[in-house]
Amino acid sequence: MADLEIAYSPYTLRFKAPATTSRATMTVKDTYFIKVYDPAAPERYGLGECALFRGLSMDDVPVYEETLQALCRNNREGKTTDLSLFPSITFGLETALHDYINGCERRPFPTPWSDGEGAIETNGLVWMGSIQEMTERMAQKVKEGFRCVKVKIGAQDFNRELQMLDELRCSYGPDVIELRLDANGAFSPEEALDRLERLAVLDIHSIEQPIAPRQWDKMSYLCENSPIPIALDEELIGITDSDAKRKMLYYISPRYIILKPALCGGIAGAEDWISIAASLGIDWWATSALESNVGLNAIAQWASTKELKRVQGLGTGGLYINNVSSPLVMKGPRLAYDTSQRWEIPQLEWQQ
């Protein structure tokens, strides 16, 4: 990166309403913006987002910000920084560089989509809450036109969740709604298959991560025997070597993998996962790791370079009260790039 400098700024995103999964309830999300620029023209810069996900990212470590400082310092001194254990920083840096190369217009991966043509179909997301809350949220997603809805499960009593899903399916058949579930590893290996069999009568498209990661024997057994196709999500986190990726996918043999670039090695890492999965007959779709619109935009533009076969998980831009204003707009269940809208980057305290 000769002649270019790097700076970063912390930023706290604030949820409009508490976001609950089987792991935790979130009211805020810490993230970091990163920019690359020519010091002779600092007003022009490529922007990326180091989308740290506390409690989930492999790089949620005490030296995270020190690593960002080292990246900036080493770059000034003409040294490299090993980011192999920091996928979210990798994601932020590579997308900032792509943005800079493509004119500093927040178009890291220019495609007809980022020219305002077409839209990316996304799933609606129903967060965990009371059964009544989740039922109301599902009805709202259907009203908004979503034909694919992902429901977070695993935090409530399973029988009550099953009853709720049964009522939802009675109201919205598979011809109306493609129903995806995300357990975030909430089931124990001993109970998982029984629960999957009970859920299967509801015509479920897929379920993400029914059991916690790093239980390859048990997950492989589930993938072989489950009546519901299984998608791996958290299982991908922390596996950076291509041979290890292939070994895991071959051994577990899931139907799908879920790609969150900030968690699975950045854009280059996601491309590697796609290539390996394709060789094994495994399909994929991309989702956000609850980034701001900066990171979400990068993922959406990257996804738009692909021939998308599945509904993507990119409808999270409305989660925050202080998101970055951008041309990203939801048109019903589709994410579009409205070229008449402008990026408005908040005042940030850039550090080097």
pTM of the model: 0.95
Q: What is the pLDDT of residue 135?
A: 85
Chunked into runs of 10 residues, the chain (352 residues) has average pLDDT values of 90 89 82 97 97 94 98 96 97 98 97 97 88 86 94 89 90 93 95 97 97 98 98 97 98 98 97 98 97 98 96 93 97 97 95 92
Q: What is the pLDDT of residue 155?
A: 79
Q: What is the pLDDT of residue 22?
A: 63
Q: What is the pLDDT of residue 220?
A: 98
Q: Give the active site residues.
A: 152, 260
Q: What is the pLDDT of residue 127?
A: 82
Q: Measuring CA to CA, which residue among 153, 221, 143 is closest to residue 182? A: 153
- How many whole angstroms separate alpha carbon 75 and alpha carbon 330? 38
